[in-house]
Amino acid sequence: MNAAGSAVSRADFNAWAQQQLATVERALEAWVPADTPASLGVAMRYGVLDGGKRLRPLLVLAACEAVAGSGPAALRAAVAVELIHAYSLVHDDMPCMDNDVLRRGKPTVHVKYGEAQAMLAGDAMQALAFEVLTPEQETGMPPALQARLCGLLARSAGHAGMAGGQAIDLASIGRALDEDALRDMHRRKTGALLQASVQMGAACGPCSAQAWQALGDYGAAIGLAFQVVDDILDVTQASETLGKTAGKDQDHNKPTYVSLLGLQAARQHAEELRQQAHAALGRSGLGAAAGWLAVLADKVVEREH
């Protein structure tokens, strides 16, 4: 671990993370409505509450703390990015895309509530994310900040980011991709939203150009590392551990880092990306304030599910 994280113990991090996750969960519980037409909110809440690693919200909140930013604004950003992530999972799991029946250890939304309700629940969660970022009455969150956060989130989720990456993924089934093409797909599909999580947190406070560039580089490194590790876990862990169907990428003949590089080389690549993330934090000028982000980089690479 580099100097940014040297003063942070795992026990300190775990205590901080538990506190932040409880706050995020309360906010999701409060802001994802149950009272909606035709029980749509029930499906929305099923898709986003009580499950998931909540890595993206933690990245938002850690980056905000690193720049001594606004906690209330960062909480809204954290909830918004998790809503976008959850909506993407609901849609990705549907029969027209990945056709999966297990997510976060329980039946997927379309299995539980039907395909039409799942599609609408995802649509509604995507819209809710931007509603959360644009409160009608909110002190400490000026319109300029609202607009900046909306822009960061929209660009990471749209055709140039997550949705575009998913389109490449679906178009690549059964095709051989070289490493550059695979990296481009995953930087869009997975990495863009993780990078935006860091940037949204940094946007909630005063952030120098040097720190902004470094945090962007950090986000890009862990965004790609997350997908590399996902590819590794897909072939090394059981469905019960992952909370989703294991081996589905291989079964669907999808290109992955393991299929391209081999298991050992994929693990080495994840480690290289971890080092890149730490090096970026070292360039940020944030020092010990970036400690939570340093531990999160380690957690991304060391995770087992």
Give pairs for 231-236: CB < 8 Å, separation 24+: 231/256, 231/257, 231/258, 231/259, 231/266, 232/257, 232/258, 232/263, 232/266, 232/267, 232/270, 233/303, 233/304, 233/305, 234/258, 235/263, 236/263
Q: What is the pLDDT of residue 248?
A: 64
Radius of gyration for the chain, computed over Cα atoms and rounded to the nearest angstrom = 18
In this structure, are residues 128 and 87 in contact, taking their beta carbons and an 8 Å threshold? Answer: no
**What is the rounded CA–CA span in Å between residue 11 and residue 291?**
13
pTM of this prediction exceeds 0.85: yes
Q: What is the pLDDT of residue 7?
A: 64
CA 256 to each of CA 181, 189, 231, 276, 303: distance values in angstroms, whole numbers, following the listed order: 11, 13, 6, 21, 18
**Nearest to residue 24, comparing CAs of 91, 79, 67?**
79
Q: What is the pLDDT of residue 140?
A: 74
- The sign of the torsion formed by the CA atoms of 76, 291, 233, 178 equals positive
**What is the rounded CA–CA span in Å between residue 194 and residue 221?**
10
Q: What is the pLDDT of residue 137?
A: 80
Q: What is the pLDDT of residue 4?
A: 47
**Nearest to residue 216, comparing CAs of 305, 155, 166?**
155
> Can you tell me whether residue 122 is helix, strand or coil?
helix
Q: What is the pLDDT of residue 243?
A: 62
In this structure, are residues 120 and 82 in contact, taking their beta carbons and an 8 Å threshold? Answer: no
Q: What is the pLDDT of residue 246?
A: 56
Q: What is the pLDDT of residue 221?
A: 98
pLDDT, tens digit, for every residue of 219-271?
999 999 999 999 999 888 766 666 656 556 665 677 899 989 999 999 999 99
Strands 102-103, 106-107: pairing kind: antiparallel
pLDDT, tens digit, for every residue of 197-226?
999 999 999 999 999 999 999 999 999 999
Q: What is the pLDDT of residue 5?
A: 43
Low-confidence ranges of the chain (pLDDT < 50): 1-6
